[in-house]
Amino acid sequence: MHQHRPLGLSFLRPKRAHLAFGAMTVTAFFACLPMIPASAEIVVESVEASAPAPEPAYVAPDVAYAAPEAAVREDYTVTHYSVIQYPIAGDHGIISSFGNRSTSCAGCAAFHSGADFGGSSGTVVTAMADGVVTQVGPDSSLGVYLKIEHVIDGQTITSTYAHLLDGSMPFQVGDTIAVGQQVGLVGMTGAATAPHLHFEIRLGGIYATAVNPVPWLAAHVTG
């Protein structure tokens, strides 16, 4: 029997120790229980708060958006289109029209390739548009003259200013001319019997087809 007690005691001791440990564990577990759900809730709430809100469906604004209209122009040079002026001040009276002449004068071509603007000697003659000088003279027909090449509405146009006073036209081929710039003074050099400005419009370069400058100017001059 004596031999069994120690055995029995030794058998009980670990059992009690186990029970005591188990009780402590259970107590600790229940002691912690109130905290576990609380902390769990906080974590859940913070996760929900930091979670990105669902994207709201896109709703088009009530006000219709007016898209800007694309700039429409046929050519970059159109910006210069409106800057065309009469080549001479005053009433632009025509003393000899473009085309076939009913009467010929010494040195005059039967076909008049320009229009003659009346003007007293010394009247200022100005460039009808921006351009570059492409031909200058004197010669026996046009006298002291210059031709200016322009790019108007995307097309090359040449204007001619003739019978200018000697010494009044200082330009050379290649010079740049601005619209309204003085290019000479009315005179009667070359085949002219009275002071006037012989003015031509050619649809192209210096030898291109000449057109009646009066309706051409009427259609193009804006100021």
- Using CB under 5 A, list all residues that contact Zn ion: 114, 116, 198
* Helix residue spans in 33-153 (DSSP H): 35-50
**Nearest alpha carbon to residue 135 among 108, 175, 98, 167:** 175
Q: How far is the CB of 98 from Zn ion (least distance, A)?
A: 9
Task: Report the residue number whose CB is nearest to Zn ion.
Answer: 198
**Nearest alpha carbon to residue 129 among 88, 178, 188:** 178
In the numeric block, which tokens belong to residue 26?
């259970």
Nearest residue (CB) to Zn ion, 112 versus 130: 112
Nearest residue (CB) to Zn ion, 151 versus 192: 192
Nearest residue (CB) to Zn ion, 113 versus 151: 113
Question: Which positions ≥6 away from 163 have C-beta within 8 Å?
Answer: 142, 143, 144, 145, 186, 187, 188, 189, 190, 192, 195, 196, 197, 198
Nearest residue (CB) to Zn ion, 198 versus 220: 198
Nearest residue (CB) to Zn ion, 150 versus 196: 196
Alpha carbons 137 and 108: distance in angstroms, whole number: 17
Q: How far is the CB of 134 from Zn ion (least distance, A)?
A: 19
Beta bridge partners of residue 114, listed in sequence order = none
- Phi, psi for residue 197 in degrees, rounded to 5: -105, 115
Q: How far is the CB of 188 from Zn ion (least distance, A)?
A: 11
